[in-house]
Amino acid sequence: MAQTLTMDGMRWRRTLSFFSGIGMMAASILTIRHYFLANFPENIFEGSFCDISAFFNCDSSAFSGISQVMGVPLGFFGMIVGALVALGALFPSESFERTNSFLAFWNFLGVITLLAYSVLVMKSLCLLCTGFYIFSFLSFFLFWKYGIGRGQRVSFIRFFKPSFKMLVTFACITAIGAYGMIQYHDAKEDARAAVSLRIIKQFRGLPMVDNPSIISPYWTVRSTEYFEDAPIRVIEFSDFLCPDCLFLTQEFDKLKEEFAGKINIAFQFFPLEGSCNPVAVEKDIHPGACELAFIAAYDPAQFVAIHDEIFANFNLARRPEWRRELAARYGVEQAFDDPVTQDIVMSIASTGMEYERTSDKFTYGIRSTPTMIINGRMIIGTLPYEHMRAIFQDLVDEYEGQTEFIEQWVPPKARKVKK
């Protein structure tokens, strides 16, 4: 028998092929899990935390438009491919190897496309996805180097000789699994009403904390002259280069319209960079965040416009030359070296020291972004729009003397939101 990847005994390459399939499955399962945790948290304590830096993070992928297809996370398809590779190594046959070779080729092209899109368009790289990419590259290399037909003159022809029966069988299995995944996704959507009620109760159960000694004068939403006069009061510890802060800003853009005239949001500068943030968090996670804070803080009259432009150009904001151009457009070039502006940003960031530690790992309560203090209760991380909307509506109802919001709350699917 001609030497193949899986059919000439339990050689190292067959074992390696098996583990490449297992690795693809494991990475895919983790991405599926993260997708649902990020988009459908079950409680207020499951905010999305999966980013090392603005570039190396999984949240951007989980919240992106390419994270799922009709409710099926992309990781599901990777899990299927990984399972077939592993099974092909355990139960080898010529038809199985040719079919897996065909799938490995298309999976390789898909991985290249996703990797390019992530790096070139999204300007980020999911570490969980990267694990899948690595195992996929390994699997394709093994089929290319040792698979059936590798000695043919036109080597890529061998990747297009799958077993039709196996392809149909695998397609049916995938379709059945995808249908189940869609049902699970829809169930998560439908359960958001009940989960939102739980979120409200959990929010109400959070301990009360004081506002920081310095409430930032830089507000992204202003409904009243005095901060405490609005039914909804949000102090948002934020970083211009934080992916989750970008997500939260997009949520606030929708909520500030729905709750117009009832919400104040103070942007509490908290760059995760040591040069302007004395709080004992991990330093220099987001290089350039301090410069962006200085640009935004220099002229209070232009803060909202600069804030919106930075988040609208989130990927470009990491580039020093873009930050210089931004400062020049708004006439605030002095911000980079202005001691008054730097002192303002540092003083606001220093308020993170005023809160008791929320983890044994960190010295202070404010140790990551975003962290919100909503009407005196602290939430670390992000929440989906539906959950934020439920909390905000409950606060408005309380302010207006209504007490039956939980019983009357209408799930998002059953109402129309003004755009």
pLDDT in tens, 227-284: 999 999 999 999 999 988 998 999 999 999 999 999 999 999 999 998 999 886 667 7
Share of the chain above pLDDT 90, in %: 63
Q: Name the pLDDT band for 411 (thresholds 50, 70, 90).
A: very low
Burial code (b: 16+ CB inside 10 Å, e: under 16) for 229-246 equals ebbbbbbbbbbbbbbbbb
Domain 12-190 class, CATH top level: mainly alpha
Q: How far apart are CA 307 and CA 297, in angstroms?
A: 9
C-alpha to C-alpha distance for 243 and 355, rounded to whole angstroms: 24
Q: Is the peptide bond between 370 and the residue preceding it cis, with omega within 30 degrees of 0?
A: yes
Which ranges in the chain are annotated with CATH 3.40.30.10? 193-414
CB atoms within 10 A of CB 27: 25
Stretch(es) of the chain classified as CATH 1.20.1440: 12-190
Question: Is-contact 158 101, C-beta < 8 A?
Answer: yes
Q: How large is the greatest C-alpha to C-alpha distance in the chain, in angstroms?
A: 83
Q: Which CATH class is domain 193-414?
A: alpha beta
Contact in structure between 18 and 43 (CB atoms under 8 Å): no
Separation of alpha carbons 297 and 284, rounded Å: 20
Residue type for 27, please?
A
Give the pLDDT confidence of 135-152 residue by residue, as tens digits. Answer: 999 999 999 999 887 765
In angstroms, the CA 285 to CA 267 distance is 20
Query: What is the H or E stretch that residue 412 is in?
Result: none
